Structure 1
Amino acid sequence: MQAPLRSEEAVAVDAVKAIDVIAEVVRDARPGEIPARLCAVAVKLLPVVGASVSLRCNGIPVRLGASSAEASYLAEVQATLGDGPWRYASRAGTPVLACDLTSGRDVYRWPMFAHQVTAAGVQAVYSMPLGDDSVTVGTLDLYRDTPGELTEPELRRALLVAAVMTLALTALPREENGSGGREPWLGGLATEHDEVYQAIGMIMAQLGIDADEAVARLRARAFAQDRTALEVAHDVVSRRERLDVG
């Protein structure tokens, strides 16, 4: 009979298995495909139904990838509200685990966030910071459809995926563009969010306000209409909506 593994051996074996899964999923991927594929890895390795990765920016975070359309929507909900575990994880540089958004401490801490995500079928959210001890560049957000805590092995796997994601965001090479030149691969992922910042500029000009106030107005309009900030921004840029009326 094989002797049971010591705790440190078990940790090493689990890490090797997780790395094997990561390697398999990202094999042959172009740089721009890596964020979404790593989100898919997180769903394979953890008791979650979705994952998304967002880049920390002034104002509204930029979604770079997600494991599904549902996870993408949840990332946009967080960006629209401007609150939730991701905000605290990106500021503190440590994991923030909202293990039960149906009752108790997490609901009181983030009431509107809890209301929005539970309406979308999510009952727990775990936010992993991306970066190092000196700077946080974004978050990996994990969505679960039942309340529950992550076990120690699960948290280690989540942090491992976050570490690989950080490496991807900071160290992957440039890739070829259609004209034969080379361009930052992150640029293509953030294209639709360019409209958000264009809309913020338009709102600043229309209302004579600064960027922070313009972001707040955009979020307020989105929340009032039960839409995402990205959706409202698209209408502002296409001149179907003005925030100085209504």
Structure 2
Amino acid sequence: MAVDAVRAVDVIAEVVRDAKPGETPARLCAAAVKLLPVVGASVSLRGSGMPIRLAASNSLASFLAEAQTTLGDGPWLHAYRDGTPVLACDLTAGRDLHRWPVFARQAAAVGVRAVYSMPLGSDDGLTVGTLDLYRDTPGGLTEDELRRAQLVAAVMTLALTTLPREESGSGGEEAWLAGLATEHDEVYQAIGMVMAQLGVDAEEASARLRARAFAQGRTALEVAHDVIAHRERLDGD
């Protein structure tokens, strides 16, 4: 049964009701799964050379968000760069498979056949990240489904840019958005260490970190942990 715009707004309102600021992105990912023919959703912001995964609806969505981070490629990158939705409707064959062959194989390995990436942006054309939607069968979105996906992305953008600060457990005030990305602070620290070790800029250091992670079949975050702990050096890559 078709879900009209009013119903979509009602679902979003119900899902985020009484949510603390830091809980809102994950709840909006859950709303996307309720409203669309998808099995998972994740939200990422663009960081220094790689996206920062803020929230995901489940472990599958989290895994594929991290996979795109590690590869430095995927539908999210094109949605972010172009500021328009990217609909990879069939990762098992044709144009989408050839466009992102490594990511497509990783997605297919966990049962995902299509990915829809919605840019998160403002009225001035600035794109700050993406809402990524994962489907277990090939296929596109209907016009109504695309409108619903864009509605969730618009609410997500509003949440990320306007939600108030909340009190932290230590009694001080902490930006809720920064708190969501705490684990990725280690990625930035690792990038800084690689920059110092190799005398390269942030983009090159990020690329080397991703390359090491891909070569070892790990995530960029896992490699960053080892770089900080001095268990891993990227010299000579």
**Short-chain TM bin:** over 0.9
Mapped pair 1:20 → 2:10: yes
CA distance in 2, matches of 1:147, 1:154: 15
Which of 138, 145, 149 is residue 154 of structure 1 equivalent to? 145
Partner of 1:199: 190
1:92 is aligned, of 76, 82, 85, to 82
Asked if residue 121 in structure 1 is aligned to residue 100 in structure 2, the reply is no
Letter in 2 for 1:192: E
**Deviations 1:188-223 (Å, cap 9, x if unpaired)?**
100000010101111111222221111111111111
Aligned-partner residue type, residue 118 of structure 2 = M
- Determine what percentage of the aligned residue pairs are the same residue: 78
1:1-246 residue pairs with structure 2 within 5 A? Answer: 14-133=4-123, 134-244=125-235
Instruction: Return 5+ residue gaps in structure 2 as ranges.
Output: none
- Report the RMSD for the aligned CA atoms in angstroms: 1.5
Across the two proteins, how many residue pairs are aligned to each other?
Answer: 236
Matched residue type, 1:106 = D
Over 4 Å off, 4+ runs: none
Question: Computing the radius of gyration over CA atoms, which structure comes out larger, 1 or 2?
Answer: 1
Structure 1: how far apart are the matches of 2:141 and 2:110?
A: 21
- The structural deviation recorded for 1:132 is 2.4
> Is the 2:64–2:107 Cα contact (8 Å) retained in structure 1?
yes
Task: Please give the secondary structure, in 2, of the residue aligned with 1:18.
Answer: helix
> Secondary structure, in 3 states, of the residue corresponding to 1:244?
coil
Q: Which amino acid aligns with 1:130?
A: L
**Counterparts of 1:77 and 1:154 in 2: how far apart (Å)?**
25
TM-score (norm 2): 0.96
SS in 1 for 2:63: helix
Distance 1:162 1:190 in 2: 19
In the TM superposition, what is the alpha-carbon distance from 1:245 to its structure 2 partner? Answer: 5.8
Amino acid at match of 2:174: E
Give the whole-Å Cα distance in 1 for the aligned partners of 2:60 and 2:224.
20
